[in-house]
Chains A and B, each alone.
Chain A
Amino acid sequence: MEQNKYLEDISEIKNMMSRSSRFISLSGISGILAGIYALIGAYLAHSILVKNPLYMFSSKTDVTRYSMLNLNNLYFIAIGVIIAAAITGVLLTLKKSRESGEKMWDVTSKRLVFNFLIPLFTGGLFCLSLIQNEIYGLVAPATLLFYGLACVNASKYTLRDVRYLGFANIIIGLIATQFIGYGLYFWALGFGVFHILYGSIMYFKYDKKN
């Protein structure tokens, strides 16, 4: 019947509009796993810090008094968490995009990655300069703030839900500026708990339906 054809036309229009402007194959599970990695990382970092009360995120700390080994361990944990989260994210997104027939590396995903990386890269460099100037207390709030901004910026090119993850991280990033020395807890909340929450919401909203 004619009516069916019109219905098909409309759904084709909607499908093309969303697929050409947004990358929608982000995996919810990868968000949950990224959050779990972050919590494990935070736990490991915490146990190092408790053993050697470094309080590296306190502006009053004289980092030079502490052994470089511990500082290096913290960097290793941070880098390990990032790499694990990135690999998991890419693999699960690849799987999901294959299932939905969407190309993983197309115009929309390139645009998404590019726009996500602008604030993130800026933030990374800014944090390096904070470390360089020994303003350690603001590193944790700054990472949360820039990560939040990156999410808000990227949300224009993917599922809108990423926007709320961004807002949440911006808010606790700002709050964290008032609690210098507790950076690790804010990290665990922002990168850990919020990711798990966001990933679960995405999973139940988009992945489970299909």
Chain B
Amino acid sequence: MSLIDNINKAFDHRIRLGIMSILMVNDYADFNMLKEMLGATDGNLASHTKALEKETYIKVEKQFIGRKPNTRYSTTPLGKAAFKKHINALEKLIGK
């Protein structure tokens, strides 16, 4: 198996990389925090979170804070493991 095989296609985009990075070091993040940090538009961010959710790399919780709907994202154990593997692969590829 070559090193390239460990590069995860699901993370092959700046926004997805950003979402995963933020969720790795924070217990959770809500939609607005991700938007602020990544400088993404609503639609753009939503499509990337959906893609990651489909892979079950992130978990989505919808709830209400007062009357405002609030969407919270967090990583799943699977997502954490996959992202760690991805980082390791990147580091090895650079190190070569």
Contacts and interface: CB of A to CB of B under 8 A. Distances in A.
A129 B87 CA distance: 52
Interface stretch (B13-21, B50-58, B61-69): B13-21
A122 B25 CA distance: 28
B82 interface: no
B37 A19 contact: yes
Nearest to B34: A20
Contacts of B18: 12, 16
A20 B29 contact: yes
Interface string A54-92: 000000000000000000000000000000000000000
A106 B14 contact: no
B91 interface: yes
A50 interface: no
Contact of A17 (B24, B29, B93, B94): B24
A13 interface: yes
B26 interface: yes
B33 interface: yes
B80 to A, nearest CB: 13
B25 A6 contact: no
B36 interface: yes
A21 interface: yes
A10 B25 CA distance: 15
B90 interface: yes
B10 interface: no
Given A17-B25, A21-B25, A7 B94 contact: yes
A175 to B, nearest CB: 36
Contact of A3 (B24, B87, B93): B93
Interface string B32-47: 0100111000000000
Interface string A82-123: 000000000000000000000100110000000000000000
Given A10-B87, A107-B33, A20 B94 contact: no
B53 to A, nearest CB: 19
Contact of A20 (B22, B87, B90): B22
Contacts of A6: 90, 93-94
Most chain B CB inside 10 Å of its own CB: which residue of A9, A10, A14, A17: A9
Given A10-B91, A17-B24, 17 more contacts: A2-B93, A6-B90, A6-B93, A9-B90, A10-B94, A12-B17, A13-B17, A13-B21, A13-B87, A15-B21, A16-B22, A20-B21, A20-B29, A20-B33, A20-B37, A106-B37, A107-B33
Interface of A: 2-3, 6-7, 9-10, 12-17, 19-21, 103, 106-107
Interface of B: 14, 17-18, 20-22, 24-26, 29, 33, 36-38, 87, 90-91, 93-94
